[in-house]
Amino acid sequence: MKVLLASSRGFCFGVEDAIEMAEMVVENRGQGEVVALGPLIHNKQVVSKLEEAGLNQSGDLETIDPSKTMLIRSHGASPETFKRAKERGLDIVDATCVLVKRAQNVVMQLHERGYHVVMIGDPNHPEVKGVIGYAPNVTVIDEGTDLEVALPYRERLGIVAQTTHSPAHVANMIQKILLRPYREVKIVNTLCLEVTRRQEAAISLAKDVDVMFVLGGLHSANTREMARMCSEAGCLTHHIETWEQFEPSMAADKVVAGVTAGASTPEWVISEFVKHLEAI
Task: Tell me which residues touch ligand SF4 (CB under 6 A).
Answer: 12-15, 74, 97, 99-100, 163-164, 192, 194-195, 222, 263
Please, which residue, 142 or 194, has the CB nearer to ligand SF4?
Answer: 194
- Alpha-carbon span 194 to 36, nearest angstrom: 24
Residue nearest to ligand SF4 (CB): 14
Looking at 27, 127, 184, 225, which residue is catalytic? 127
Answer whether 8's CB lies under 8 Å from 222's CB: no
Please, which residue, 211 or 265, has the CB nearer to ligand SF4?
Answer: 265
- Cβ 75 to ligand SF4 shortest distance, Å: 8
Please, which residue, 72 or 151, has the CB nearer to ligand SF4?
Answer: 72
- Alpha-carbon span 80 to 134, nearest angstrom: 9
Please, which residue, 216 or 258, has the CB nearer to ligand SF4?
Answer: 216
Question: Amino acid letter at 101?
Answer: K
- Alpha-carbon span 174 to 211, nearest angstrom: 32
Please count the residues of the chain.
280
- Cβ 149 to ligand SF4 shortest distance, Å: 30
3-class SS at 135? coil
- Cβ 25 to ligand SF4 shortest distance, Å: 18
Q: Please, what's the largest Cα pairwise distance for the chain?
A: 60
- Cβ 184 to ligand SF4 shortest distance, Å: 27
In sequence order, the 6+-apart residues with CB closer than 8 A to the CB of 51 are 57
27 an active-site residue? Answer: no
Please, which residue, 31 or 105, has the CB nearer to ligand SF4?
Answer: 105
Alpha helix ranges (H) inside 88-220: 98-112, 126-131, 147-150, 167-178, 193-206
Answer whether 246's CB lies under 8 Å from 255's CB: no
- Cβ 48 to ligand SF4 shortest distance, Å: 19
What is the set of active-site residues?
A: 127
